[in-house]
């Protein structure tokens, strides 16, 4: 009987996580188990997450809480400031994205496929606008292309081109801060493509241009699309470089972020709320699209989350 009881007790100890056998107690005295020891850290993790999540979400939700009941959308969607800022933002960001793709794709492929002296320096310089304060970017553009800048007088005298405080300046400011996002993503996408696939295509007599469009681009397309989305979103939210280099003129250089600044200064809260709401919805949508493209690139589409 004693042996039988001991065996049953030993089985109970092995199958019950809350029973811990110590050298001093062979009868399985109940001790705090692993679940109890982990409860406190888990509670802390959830508490910290809840505090940070509330801090991030409450201000964003407050915009919609103030805008929807007050009828801000009905009152301000027809406002010329809102309408022209939205239209100008869509036009300039589309042009910015086009420039980033056309000029950024060759640069990204160069960095991904070739090794040369100064490559790391070039890569760092391209990524520098991503971490520069936007105001610094605006001052840099003004010192380069302004009327008293390094290239400004030449552009004005030879070509009759005045860049500052024009729509072109808006596109240049947006391109300066947004293009690196596309280049960085495109470079990662090109690096993920096995070079042997391009070599095989070359042995079949396919030109490098055809190989690029028929092999490299399709395989790196998710990364290219993700980079394009992020670059467009960055251009849409650009403020500091634009106001420094292009100014804040309605219908000419006043994009949505600048219109928010002006309407808040002039006490037109409803217009600022509408523009802010649009930017929040667009930014959230961009992040969802980017995450979807990233999952697609990793081959996780259709796989349930853990």
pLDDT digits 0-9 by tens, 241-250:
999 999 999 9
Question: 227: buried, middle or exposed (CB in 10 Å: 19+, 13-18, 0-12)?
Answer: buried
* pLDDT exceeds cutoff 90 at 286: no
pLDDT value for 88: 94
Closest CA to 195 of 206, 211, 179, 171: 211
pLDDT value for 9: 52
* pLDDT exceeds cutoff 60 at 156: yes
Query: What homologous superfamily is domain 79-297 in, according to CATH?
Result: MetI-like (1.10.3720.10)
Closest CA to 254 of 129, 177, 165: 165
Q: Which of 128-137, 210-219, 282-291 has the lowest mean pLDDT?
A: 282-291
Mean pLDDT in the chain? Answer: 83
> Are the CB atoms for 144 and 150 separated by under 8 Å?
yes
* pLDDT tens digit sequence for 198-207: 888 888 888 8
Q: Which residues contact 33 (CB under 8 A, 6 or more apart)?
A: 17, 18, 19, 20
**Domain edges within the chain:** 2-59, 79-297
Which one of 15-24, 43-52, 297-306 scores highest in mean pLDDT? Answer: 43-52
Q: Which residues contact 237 (CB under 8 A, 6 or more apart)?
A: 257, 279, 283
Half-sphere exposure of residue 200, counting CA atoms within 13 Å on the CB side?
8
Instruction: Please give the model's pTM, rounded to 2 decimal places.
Output: 0.77
* pLDDT exceeds cutoff 80 at 99: yes
């Amino acid at each position: 009987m004693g042996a039988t009881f001991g065996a049953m007790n030993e089985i109970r100890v092995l199958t019950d996580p809350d029973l811990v056998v110590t050298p001093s107690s062979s009868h399985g005295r109940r001790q705090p188990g692993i679940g109890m020891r982990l409860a406190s850290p888990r509670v802390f993790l959830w508490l910290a997450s809840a505090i940070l999540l509330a801090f991030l979400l409450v201000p964003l939700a407050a915009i919609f809480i103030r805008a929807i009941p007050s009828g801000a959308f009905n009152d301000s969607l027809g406002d010329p400031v809102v309408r022209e800022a939205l239209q100008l933002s869509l036009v300039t960001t589309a042009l910015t994205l086009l420039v980033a793709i056309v000029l950024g794709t060759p640069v990204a492929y160069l960095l991904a496929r070739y090794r040369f002296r100064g490559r790391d320096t070039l890569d760092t310089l391209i990524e520098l606008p991503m971490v520069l304060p936007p105001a610094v970017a605006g001052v840099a553009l003004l010192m380069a292309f302004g009327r008293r800048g390094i290239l400004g007088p030449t552009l004005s005298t030879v070509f009759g081109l005045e860049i500052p405080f024009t729509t072109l300046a808006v596109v240049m400011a947006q391109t300066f801060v947004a293009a690196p996002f596309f280049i960085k993503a495109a470079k990662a996408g090109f690096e993920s493509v096995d070079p042997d696939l391009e070599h095989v295509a070359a042995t079949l007599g396919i030109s490098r241009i055809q190989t690029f469009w028929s092999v490299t681009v399709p395989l790196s397309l998710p990364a290219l699309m993700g980079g394009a989305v992020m670059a467009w979103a960055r251009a849409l939210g650009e403020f500091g470089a634009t106001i420094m280099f292009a100014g804040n003129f309605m219908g000419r250089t006043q994009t949505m972020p600048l219109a928010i600044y002006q309407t808040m200064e002039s006490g037109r809260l409803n217009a600022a709320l509408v523009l802010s709401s649009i930017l929040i919805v667009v930014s959230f949508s961009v992040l969802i699209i980017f995450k979807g493209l990233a999952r697609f690139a990793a081959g996780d589409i259709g796989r349930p989350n853990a």
